[in-house]
Structure 1
Amino acid sequence: MSRTNARRWLSPIAMAVAAACISPASAQDVDVAAVEARLVQMEREMRELRALLEGHRGTAAPLPATTAAAPPTATAASAPAPASAGAATPPRNPMMPGAAPGTAFSFGGFIKFDAMTTRTSDGQIADGSPGRLFYFPGATPVAPDGQGRSSTYSDVHAQFSRFWLGADTVTDAGKTIKAYIEADMYGGGSNAFAGNETITNTYALTLRQAYVSYNGWLAGQTWSNFQDVAALPDAVDFTGPSEGTVFSRQAQLRYTRGPWSVSVENPQTTVTPYLSQAARFNSGDDRLPDVTARWITRGDWGHFTVAGLARRFRSGDASTSGAALSVSGRVNLGANDDIRYMVSGGDGIGRYLGFALGSDTVLDADGRLHSQRGYGGFAAWRHAFLPKLRGNVIYSVASLDNDPLLTGGSVTERAQSFRVNMIYSPARNLDVGGELSWADRRLENGLEGDLQRVHTHVKYSF
């Protein structure tokens, strides 16, 4: 825009606003000082706008976008095209003057309101713990037959509301550098860090993802390469089939080329003491990263993927190895139906399965370390009854192959859950859902408990 054109519309704006300030009142009611102060402010803003227009004078490139238009997994529609030889340097973003030239910003997230009533057959899940916010299979209380006492309680929260910020920069070579950061208000699943439900219901900010990617490489924290996020069902609960799901976010270095991806990821060994004489703990002694590899194929029919995991466990001077395999995918059955599934298992799958339902390793009487075997999976059917109404049926199970001579009888042997939901979308990006779920957990010594929950939510994505 030229200086002449800028003046053509800037001056009338000033006159119109000044007139608006005076005309509604009679002369004796006019605050002359306030009007003069407002005019001075407007003149300053117009000078700033003229300076901005002069900075873009003679440049044909449009201003980069500053608001979200696409999810972080897609290339932002507003990102400038790669610069050709001899082309002018892309302008800096006026909203972020320190950003690299040619950077497009995106922002998004959702607000999620959860309200649920839970009944547990053998005691109560501790208030303020993760199991009160979403289905956490290891939290289901257990007791001997006839000795448990049922309990019913309700919880309401908005802790899973989240936001993300992305920045895509196109280099002179035409390649994209992507930065992405995401957080929610989960606060580690406890209100002990930031507040309580007595007055303010404040919760701590939780880092979910923070990474940078370039030319096939990714460095930072994101979902494990061993996890297939795209296979997760459409649940009202935070995850849904928790016990049968590979679920892990952690720091990693990943390389992707075509359908293949490999990664080295943050190691952590969970250890069950001999005969469970003490609580399970994280060793903190790991020296080698967890290594993963994945192959995936996609089409209009859905997707199918296979992932492998190799680990080296260490606790003190004791060490051992483990490996696991996961097969998952989604099959589209026409326009209104799809099936989603996952099957995973192996020695040392431990903390990757079911929110660490089982331990990675167990110590024997001599202090030697043994990897633990576990298996899990889920199947989910999604059906769209109407364009704005859909439902899901989900079953999930995990089985842990413990050696009671090493672990004792107080560790989880099996957990399973079943849920059905209906989700209505009265407007774009707005979901109102209800879900009924049932779950049970059994220990090696035969103690068992079950859970029933009615869970509703309102979720608006932006």
Structure 2
Amino acid sequence: MTQTHQARPRLLATAVLTALMLPGAAFAQTAKERELEARVAQLEQMVQQLVAQQQQTETAVTEVRTAQAAQPAPAPAAATGTGAAAPIQTTTIVPTSGSTFTVGGMIRTDGLVTKTTDGAIGKGTAGRDFYVPGAIPVGGNGPDTYSDAHLKFSRLWFDASTVLGTGDRLGARVELDFFGGALGNSAATNTYGATLRHAYLTYNNWLVGQTWSNFMDTAALIDAVDFVGPTDAVVFVRQPQLRYTSGPWAVSIESPETTVQPFGGGARVIAGNNSAIPDVVARYTHKGDWGHVSVAGMARQLKYEPVAGSNSTDTGFGATVSGLVKLGDSTDIRYQVSGGEGIGRYIGLATVQQDAMVDSAGNLDALGGWAGYVGLRQVFSPQVRGNLYYARSQWDNDTTWTGFGVTRKVHSLHANMIWSPVPRLDFGVEAIWGERTLESGVDGELIRLHTMARYTF
């Protein structure tokens, strides 16, 4: 190998010399001969340097390859030095091809014109944005008419789901809307804060996080233009929970909270310290080609602390039956009936009545009542559908404790039409009549025209 490299510069120099000397062979004895010999010597030196550099490069490559071959093979990532599986906390779960990630949401604009018979609903309150029966004014100074518009019910959500190599299923959802407190004002920016609607994870049949209560049947909700629809009677709660679902059965423990009607009347009180016992809910749902029917029961402990260190408790319980019945390919009926004691927080966004009453000593007593709605949905064409529905709730106040200024009943009648010129784009209009009556017999009415434009993506 060495002799070959040494011979290369001499042969190359000889070839160069020959090429340079041929044109001037006749003048070999002249002074130019010495100049050519000097040039040949210079070229020979340059070639030797190039060959030496090539030898150094080949030697370095050989050394690296030899060192790599001498190294032991790396151990598998999921094994320890003893051959045992590494703790799952130190490994990475690699999603399989069954993983999906979805971003979606909707842009929604609401416009409302409202007339109330006994004064106006307070500006900036929820009752100006959608139908809230507990906000209907009663005993006011006469009728008032006003209009509102907003985009607070626009939403953004993110879903993730993964099927692991073991067959286990993981999922998660985060959803926001913009029904938070005002960050601007209606005179200029109409800016509102983002609020958390849903945030939960699922693992096979388990769910943990914040979402709709298991006491609520979302499949029986009315196709409303109003944000909620039959608010007088619908079970409508989102809260933290732990839920297990197996076939038609779902059982959950959910965050406890107690709302109280103070002695003698007045604004509701949200109890100080929560109960140590979570609300327990069990639901059974039967489905068929004709629709579905669902039955749920709930037991809960109510707790009130009128003064520090003085607690009063009572037991609340309730049941609800709901469902959807198809009357053909284009018509269905949706309904829900609920009743019990201590369920006020679960009905109508906790705006109609409370869970319990208290006497003058602060002793707690669960408030009884019932609520229900029924609606007819008709699809006139692939682009046009309409709904007609009625909702009502009524409560058993003990006026010796609550006084006569609390709500005895609320009810409402709604009719809407929704036009979808293309998929995911909806334009709707809904006419609403609602009434709230106090224990004193004083009442107030609301008449509203609610319009909506919505693009879901």
TM-score range, shorter chain: 0.7 to 0.9
Of residues 244, 264, 278, the one that matches 1:289 is 278
Whether 2:268 is the aligned partner of 1:280: answer yes
- Alignment-derived partner of residue 339 in structure 2: 345
1:398 matched to 2:393: yes
Counterpart pick for 1:320 among 309, 314, 332 = 314
> Which residue identity is paired with 1:220?
G
The offset of 1:366, in angstroms, is: 2.1
Q: Distance in 2 between matches of 1:310 and 1:202?
A: 40
> Residue in 2 aligned with 1:455?
450
User: 1:330, 1:100 → 2: CA distance?
Assistant: 41
What is the percent sequence identity of the aligned residues?
A: 48
Q: Is the 8 A contact 1:100 1:169 kept in 2?
A: no
SS at match of 1:243: coil
Deviations 1:289-324 (A, max 9, x none): 111000001121111000011110111211110100
- 2:159 maps to which residue? 166
Cα-to-partner distance string for 1:360-416 (whole Å, 9 max, x where unaligned): 011112221100011111000000111111110010001011111111111100000
Deviations 1:76-132 (A, max 9, x none): xxxxxxxxxxxxxxxxxxxxxx99433320111111111010000001001010000
The answer on 1:208 being equivalent to 2:204 is no
SS at match of 1:427: coil
- With over 3 angstroms needed to count, the CA separation of the structure-2 counterparts of 1:100 and 1:199, relative to structure 1, is farther
2:142 to 137, 141, 149: 149
Q: 2:250 aligns with which of 256, 261, 264?
A: 261
Output the CA distance in 2 between the equivalents of 1:458 and 1:410.
Answer: 38
Query: What is the alpha-carbon distance in structure 1 between the residues aligned to residue 248 and residue 186 of structure 2?
Result: 47
- Listed as ranges, the matches of 1:403-418 within 5 Å are 403-418=398-413
Name stretches of at least 5 consecutive residues in structure 1 with no aligned partner.
Answer: 1-97
What is the alpha-carbon distance in structure 1 between the residues aligned to residue 392 and residue 379 of structure 2?
Answer: 25
Residues in 2 aligned to 1:99 and 1:233: alpha-carbon distance in whole angstroms: 41
SS at match of 2:215: coil
Map 1:86-235 onto structure 2 (within 5 A). Answer: 100-102=94-96, 103-143=99-139, 148-187=141-180, 190-191=181-182, 194-235=183-224
Q: What is the Cα deviation at residue 279 of structure 1? A: 2.4
Q: Distance in 1 between matches of 2:144 and 2:93?
A: 55
Counterparts of 1:385 and 1:293, CA distance in 2: 37
Q: For 1:424 and 1:243, locate their aligned partners in 2 and report how far apart those are by CA, in whole Å.
A: 26
2:361 paired with 1:366: yes
Moved over 4 A (4+): none
Q: Name the larger-Rg structure.
A: 2
User: CA–CA distance in 1 between the matches of 2:303 and 2:253?
Assistant: 17
- Of 284, 290, 295, which residue of structure 2 is paired with 1:301? 290
- Secondary structure of the corresponding residue to residue 275 of structure 1: coil
How large is the Cα RMSD of the aligned pairs? 1.2
What is the one-letter code of the residue matched to 2:327? L
1:310, 1:324 within 8 Å by CA — same for their partners in 2? yes
Q: CA deviation at 1:226?
A: 0.2
Equivalent AA in structure 2 for residue 282 of structure 1:
I
Contact between 1:311 and 1:323, CA under 8 Å: does it hold in 2?
yes
- Give the secondary-structure state (helix, strand or coil) at the position aligned to 2:345: helix
Match for 1:335 among 329, 336, 340? 329
Give secondary structure in 2 for the equivalent of 1:406.
Answer: helix
- Residue matched to 1:242: 231
TM-score (norm 2): 0.77
**Which string of whole-angstrom CA distances, capped at 9 and with x for unpartnered residues, describes residues 152-189 of structure 1?**
000001110101101111112112100111110111xx
On the 8 A contact 1:354/1:398 being kept in 2, the answer is no
Unmatched 5+ stretches in structure 2: 1-91, 306-310
Alignment size in residue pairs: 357
Report the Cα distance in structure 1 between the residues aligned to 2:240 and 2:409, rounded to whole angstroms.
Answer: 29
Structure 1 residue corresponding to 2:417, chosen from 415, 422, 434: 422
Instruction: Give the superposition deviation at 1:284.
Output: 2.9
Q: 3-state DSSP class of the match of 2:294?
A: strand
Is 2:432 aligned against 1:437?
Answer: yes
TM norm structure 1: 0.76
- CA distance in 2 between partners of 1:335 and 1:455 (Å): 28
Deviations 1:428-449 (A, max 9, x none): 1111111111000001111110
